[in-house]
Structure 1
Amino acid sequence: MTDKRPYSILVVDDDRSMRQSLVDLLEAAGWSAEAVSRATHVAAKLTDMQPDVILSDVRMPGMTGLELLAGLDQNSEPPLVLISAHGDIPTAVRAMQDGAYSFVEKPYEPRRLLRILTHAAEQNRMRQDNTRLKTRLMRLSGLDRILLGQTAEVTALRQDVLDVASTRAPVLITGETGTGKELVAHALHDLGGDGQAMFVALNCAALSPDTFEAEMFGVAGQSDGRLARASSGTLFLDEICSCPPAVQAKLLRVLEDKQFMPVGASGTVTADFRVVSATSEDVPQAVRDGRLRPDLLFRINTVVLALPSLRQRRDDIALLSRHFLEHYAEIYELAVPEIDQDDLAALLAHDWPGNVRELRNVCERRVLAARRGAGSMAQAIQADQHLDDIPGTLREAVAAFERELIGKAIQAHEGRMDAAAEALGIGRRTLNEKIVKLGLDKDALL
């Protein structure tokens, strides 16, 4: 969130009239200004106030402005702008080399001075924001790191996950593509189940009535089915609204009694699994359209977790961006690009149709651009926008976006599927299923 507080400044000058003149100018411009007459008073003053910038004369009794500069911790204390009636090129060069933000000669031009001080204050606040984000990320662990964010929507979601995880109640997770539905499903499994139990993900759109029994129930003496592997664990039904109608009837019977008969077996098998389902579609509309059976919905929606879109949690964008930038900088062994005012403005102005998944992809692109010493968040975002080639339907748009995102992840990780799946925030099995569903040619991408 953008800091709306007025900028604050500490003025240091031994000339009383100059101090007052500077304070009057700054207060007239909307700043909060305080002043001291000696550089030796600055350290004590910094314990009482946290100015965005310090403006100091160079030549003063006791301690000069250059000596004040040398004593400041430039990693944690405000930037210093020096002002002097005895300005010369060597002094200015030395000041800048020693870390001064800028050097201004007296008599000063008010608009130029205010512009320099404003830029220094903006840069300092952005640095403080980045530092706070880094500190917050380092403190996060467990569910906080999985469901990253500080907005009310995400805080409530984390509490809901904690409340539901210890139960065996069926959970339906809804939310737009890219909001992290599979991450939430994994969190429910990890927090609530047996540490040795499996999380079995199933892409419902890829299920076929002809192979349902063999795939789900297994074949006696040959292979275990998905249900047997999910016993004591979690069966994750992804994109449940895309499940073929004929498969829904068979799935409903299994979910009702948790019993099934493997192909070729003479007796039934019981599997005690938890059902977690997910969809990016409008569930009531899917029921009205006849694409989702009402009786199946009633078996899977005991608890509904609605994931907010990134548009609904814009205050988390800076934190998420910092997290993803650090993640990819570590992978590519690069310095973490800083988020400046222009970057933040671009991030907040974007509509994020692909949600957190799209933001993650943008941050990876920004880190890759940093290898060439170039790039910005605005450029990284624009690379995802193809306004002249918009698919005709939402389903086509989602498929096109997923196809592009997966293709780029496979290319970025040079065909290493585990790394590509991790970068996309999905499981390896889900990635394989999406590659088949979307008709992607892995070899052609490489």
Structure 2
Amino acid sequence: MTETQTVSVLVVDDDREMRLSLVDLLEAADWRVEALPRAEKVAEHLSHFQPDVILSDVRMPGMSGLELLASLDADTAPPLVLISAHGDISMAVSAMQAGAYSFVEKPYEPRRLLSILRHAAEQHQMRRTTERLRARLARLSGLDRVLLGATPELANLREDILDVAESPAAVLIQGETGTGKELVARALHDLGPQADGPFLALNCAALNPATFESEMFGEAGHHEGKLLLADGGTLFLDEILSCPPEVQAKLLRVIEDKQVTPLGASRPVPLRFRVVSATNEDMAEAIAAKRFRQDLSFRINTVELILPTLRARRGDLVLLFTHFLEHYAQTYEVEPPNLTQEDLTALMAHDWPGNVRELRNVAERRVLAARRGGGSVTRALRVDLSVDEVPDTLREAVAAYERALIGKAITAHQGRMEAVAEALGIGRRTLNEKIVKLGLDKDALL
């Protein structure tokens, strides 16, 4: 743990004055602290606050500190330091044998207590780093597996990612729906210096201006804000151009200041994170239409990565489709279906408006049909319009496709528009505009 990293501590003590005293001491050291009066609440609390170390009293009503120690998963839980005014040598020995990191008697010496907690936190950080490294090595065998493809467009993209990954510069990823924007964002994270830190993805289209500060900054004494979970890692802002105008100013302040002040708190909490954003819209148009702040665009767009569409790399179609067929065949425990000449013709003739995501879905439908002993790529594409039913112009064809796709999503998600927008990979504002433009009747679809 470097000197700039913030230690996070969970204090558990039923004595209110002692609990507040410990919180004051730890906050004075610029550590992040949360406190509980009962050990029974620890398990639930750990689901949303992941401390580097737990400091717990031994004798408390209900669950004792030793019982808390026994309840924690030794492989995943943070180290536990016990503190008690009733301590003796035998209790300390028993606690250490049971797995406690250390034992401190009250009244405690502040510098010694801080030293013990810091060493425990460092040990936990090192263990988590080792685990992440092992998982990363097992997961990554080069960008060739993360971004599958042999065309020049994919080769150039992989080179750009490798060039940018080591830099702390803010990155804007632009690409159509289904081109793999989050996949690229995760590759930047995994290959960069912040790989051992968290990856926090936020869907900007779903951010609520009324609850933004409470959810993102947190409330002192109640809950930790989501943005704190990005400390030391990557903050991924998906659908950034769909961010509500009221939220944009607050995001700009966080990105500029690299700190947040939880509601009710007296001091800001410093943060360290890399910003990676993504959009399937044109930023210049959004700025010109006054939908997006130009000053925020400067902060998130130091480096730009433009993802190629599947139409632009048709040479990868068969390779990708075969990969997905094998993946889903293994998932559904069937033999992958063989590709016929008719299948290859259908793959090449389709425009793939949904890009790699659509290709993956078609492959899954093809494998599901193979389980029933039939199917083809044409049927999996659901391209069963007769010649007379095909619209005369490209604009009409695109509108018909969008109308069918959005209508299906509205029906599937029973009219829950946030879920519909997320499933389609577009912002809520964009969805509403398309519904009006295409003349869709939401009520008639339900």
Instruction: Give me the TM-score of the superposition, normalised by structure 1.
Output: 0.57
Deviations 1:188-218 (A, max 9, x none): 1111144441111111111122111111111
User: Structure 1: how far apart are the matches of 2:397 and 2:225?
Assistant: 35
User: Hey, what does 1:176 align to over in structure 2?
Assistant: 176
Once the two structures are superposed, the pairs formed by residues 138-177 of structure 1 within 5 Å of their partners are 141-177=141-177
User: Structure 1: how far apart are the matches of 2:229 and 2:403?
Assistant: 29
User: Hey, what does 2:369 align to over in structure 1?
Assistant: 369
Once the two structures are superposed, the pairs formed by residues 24-423 of structure 1 within 5 Å of their partners are 141-382=141-382, 401=405, 404=408
Helix, strand or coil for the counterpart of 2:237?
strand
Once the two structures are superposed, the pairs formed by residues 417-436 of structure 1 within 5 Å of their partners are none
Give the residue type in structure 2 aligned to 1:141. S
Aligned length: 281
Deviation at 1:402, TM superposition (A): 7.1
User: Structure 1: how far apart are the matches of 2:262 and 2:359?
Assistant: 43
Greater Rg by CA: 1
Is contact 1:203–1:433 with CA below 8 Å preserved after alignment?
no
Is contact 2:409–2:423 with CA below 8 Å preserved after alignment?
no
User: Hey, what does 1:55 align to over in structure 2?
Assistant: none
Distance 1:290 1:398, change over 3 A: farther
Distance 1:342 1:395, change over 3 A: closer
User: Structure 2: how far apart are the matches of 1:213 and 1:382?
Assistant: 45
Helix, strand or coil for the counterpart of 1:373?
coil
User: Structure 2: how far apart are the matches of 1:377 and 1:350?
Assistant: 10
Is contact 1:207–1:243 with CA below 8 Å preserved after alignment?
yes
Distance 1:336 1:248, change over 3 A: same
Distance 1:281 1:341, change over 3 A: same
Stretches of structure 2 that go unaligned for 5 or more consecutive residues are 1-139, 414-421, 433-446
Deviations 1:317-360 (A, max 9, x none): 00000100000000000001111221111100100011110000
Give the residue type in structure 2 aligned to 1:295. D
Helix, strand or coil for the counterpart of 1:173?
strand
Deviation at 1:156, TM superposition (A): 0.5
Deviation at 1:285, TM superposition (A): 0.9
Give the residue type in structure 1 aligned to 2:203. N
Is contact 2:173–2:277 with CA below 8 Å preserved after alignment?
yes
Distance 1:388 1:246, change over 3 A: farther
Distance 1:338 1:398, change over 3 A: same
Residues 243-252 or 430-439, more deviating: 430-439
User: Structure 2: how far apart are the matches of 1:292 and 1:395?
Assistant: 26
Is contact 1:259–1:271 with CA below 8 Å preserved after alignment?
yes
User: Structure 2: how far apart are the matches of 1:316 and 1:353?
Assistant: 15
Distance 1:391 1:345, change over 3 A: closer
Deviations 1:175-198 (A, max 9, x none): 000101011111111111444411
Deviation at 1:160, TM superposition (A): 0.7
Give the residue type in structure 2 aligned to 1:182. E
Helix, strand or coil for the counterpart of 1:277?
strand
Is contact 2:157–2:307 with CA below 8 Å preserved after alignment?
yes
User: Structure 2: how far apart are the matches of 1:393 and 1:207?
Assistant: 33
User: Structure 2: how far apart are the matches of 1:203 and 1:285?
Assistant: 20
Deviation at 1:403, TM superposition (A): 7.7
Is contact 1:252–1:296 with CA below 8 Å preserved after alignment?
yes
User: Structure 1: how far apart are the matches of 2:229 and 2:219?
Assistant: 13
Helix, strand or coil for the counterpart of 1:286?
helix
Deviation at 1:435, TM superposition (A): 12
Helix, strand or coil for the counterpart of 2:276?
strand
* RMSD of aligned Cα (Å): 3.4
Distance 1:384 1:162, change over 3 A: farther
Is contact 2:242–2:427 with CA below 8 Å preserved after alignment?
no
Helix, strand or coil for the counterpart of 1:275?
strand
Deviation at 1:277, TM superposition (A): 0.4
Deviations 1:114-168 (A, max 9, x none): xxxxxxxxxxxxxxxxxxxxxxxxxx93311111101101100011111111111
Helix, strand or coil for the counterpart of 2:379?
helix
Distance 1:397 1:284, change over 3 A: farther
Deviation at 1:394, TM superposition (A): 8.2
User: Structure 2: how far apart are the matches of 1:393 and 1:249?
Assistant: 39
Give the residue type in structure 2 aligned to 1:334. V
Is contact 1:206–1:433 with CA below 8 Å preserved after alignment?
no
Deviations 1:3-28 (A, max 9, x none): xxxxxxxxxxxxxxxxxxxxxxxxxx
Give the residue type in structure 2 aligned to 1:215. E
Instruction: Give me the TM-score of the superposition, normalised by structure 2.
Output: 0.57
Give the residue type in structure 1 aligned to 2:300. I
Give the residue type in structure 1 aligned to 2:358. E
Is contact 1:325–1:364 with CA below 8 Å preserved after alignment?
yes
Helix, strand or coil for the counterpart of 2:333?
coil
Deviation at 1:374, TM superposition (A): 1.1
Give the residue type in structure 1 aligned to 2:325. L
Deviation at 1:397, TM superposition (A): 6.7
Deviation at 1:393, TM superposition (A): 12
Deviations 1:373-415 (A, max 9, x none): 211111111259897899999899769647857998x9xxxxx
Distance 1:196 1:183, change over 3 A: same
